[in-house]
């Protein structure tokens, strides 16, 4: 089934291929191909890739389904924290990619789910069966999976309506300006480096609420609440205010990784709290994940010598869960 996306062009819209690339989170070449194939209309008419839309012109994009690719099951251990006939929640380890894609066709969460014989919803493509939302490869924590198409529709609508609560534990470099902070800046592919995301005026709206739970010598422990789920959102937003996630090589936070004893390619970002209404029963499901051992050790290093966290659940100690879900 073809997906339809539409949006109003901003007043400072770039050329059409860049605008479509930013809005759809695709490469410029992919956007140009959609335009050349007549799948992009501006106020109902076809335009060239170089066209610059005027303010509030309606851009409609018809996105064809990608060709299906069979995904094989693999015997990969998973930590399941909730499961019934309709959905399940994984506590994903750092280093695991969520679904197959170019460069990562094996070893993913979807491969592991298929390997255990889990029934999965059809999803948006064969490679993304069951996936309601994603976590970055090096981000650990709670991830929701749909086992039926009905559950996927209900959970997807709840996610879109911001009724699924997702809160992350973050260690950021330096000190943010206030104990409570909202970052609301649009995000899209970085026009200078397509492997990165960036704050871009023509990007998709993104909002992150931050609460400082502790201030250490060189870093802050934050609770991040996602209102939207853009690629790399927390990482990009924190980098945009000069306080990147500790250990994040991509966005400028990796230089002092050794200070806190983080392993290579690991950043301090953990999806620690997930609250949602069950797609069938309507029951509230409230799930919490403690910090993995590597992040626990890093937090102990960050807090030393002022706070002893060696024998405590550090997130509870700092009031991470002391908020209305």
Q: What are phi and psi of 6, to 5 degrees?
A: -140, 150
* Residue positions counted in the chain: 325
pLDDT tens by residue, 313-325: 889 989 999 977 6
pLDDT tens by residue, 153-201: 999 999 999 999 999 999 999 999 999 999 999 999 888 887 899 999 8
pLDDT for 47 equals 96
Please give the model's pTM, rounded to 2 decimal places.
0.84
Q: Is 18:191 a contact under the CB 8 Å cutoff?
A: yes
Strand (E) or helix (H) holding 17: helix 16-24
pLDDT tens by residue, 40-66: 999 999 999 999 999 999 999 998 876
Q: Which of 17, 91, 136, 294 is catalytic?
A: 136
pLDDT for 66 equals 66
DSSP character for 316? H
Helix (H, G, I), strand (E, B) or coil at 10: coil
Strands 180-184 and 165-173: unpaired
136 is catalytic: yes
Q: Which domains are assigned to the chain?
A: 3-63 (3.10.290.10), 80-160 (3.30.2350.10), 165-317 (3.30.2350.10)
Q: What's the mean pLDDT in 106-122?
A: 92
């Amino acid at each position: 089934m073809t997906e339809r996306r539409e949006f109003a062009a901003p007043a400072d819209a770039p050329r059409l291929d860049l605008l479509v690339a930013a809005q759809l989170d695709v490469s410029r070449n992919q956007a140009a191909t959609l335009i050349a194939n007549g799948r992009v209309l501006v106020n109902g008419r076809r335009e060239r890739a170089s066209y610059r839309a005027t303010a509030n012109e309606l851009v409609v994009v018809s996105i064809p389904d990608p060709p299906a690719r069979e995904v094989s099951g693999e015997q990969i251990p998973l930590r399941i924290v909730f499961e019934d006939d309709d959905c399940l929640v994984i506590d994903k380890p750092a280093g695991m990619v969520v679904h197959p894609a170019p460069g990562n066709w094996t070893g993913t969460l979807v491969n592991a789910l298929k390997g255990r014989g889990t029934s999965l919803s059809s999803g948006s493509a064969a490679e993304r069966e069951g996936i309601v939302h994603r976590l970055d490869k090096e981000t650990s924590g709670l991830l929701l999976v749909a086992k039926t198409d009905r559950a996927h529709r209900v959970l997807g609508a709840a996610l879109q309506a911001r009724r699924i609560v997702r809160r992350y534990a973050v260690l950021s470099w330096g000190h943010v300006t206030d104990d409570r902070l909202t970052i609301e800046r649009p995000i899209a592919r970085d026009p200078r480096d397509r492997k990165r995301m960036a704050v871009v005026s023509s990007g998709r709206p993104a909002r992150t609420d931050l609460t400082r739970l502790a201030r250490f010598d060189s870093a802050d422990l934050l609770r991040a609440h996602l209102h939207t789920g853009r690629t790399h959102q927390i990482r990009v937003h924190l980098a945009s205010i000069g306080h990147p996630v500790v250990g994040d090589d991509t966005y400028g936070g990796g230089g002092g990784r050794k200070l806190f004893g983080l392993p290579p390619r690991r950043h301090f970002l953990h999806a620690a709290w997930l609250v949602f209404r069950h797609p069938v029963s309507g029951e509230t499901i409230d799930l919490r994940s403690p910090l993995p051992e590597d992040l626990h050790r890093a937090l102990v290093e960050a807090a030393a010598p002022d706070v002893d966290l060696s024998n405590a659940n550090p997130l509870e100690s700092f009031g991470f869960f002391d908020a209305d879900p």
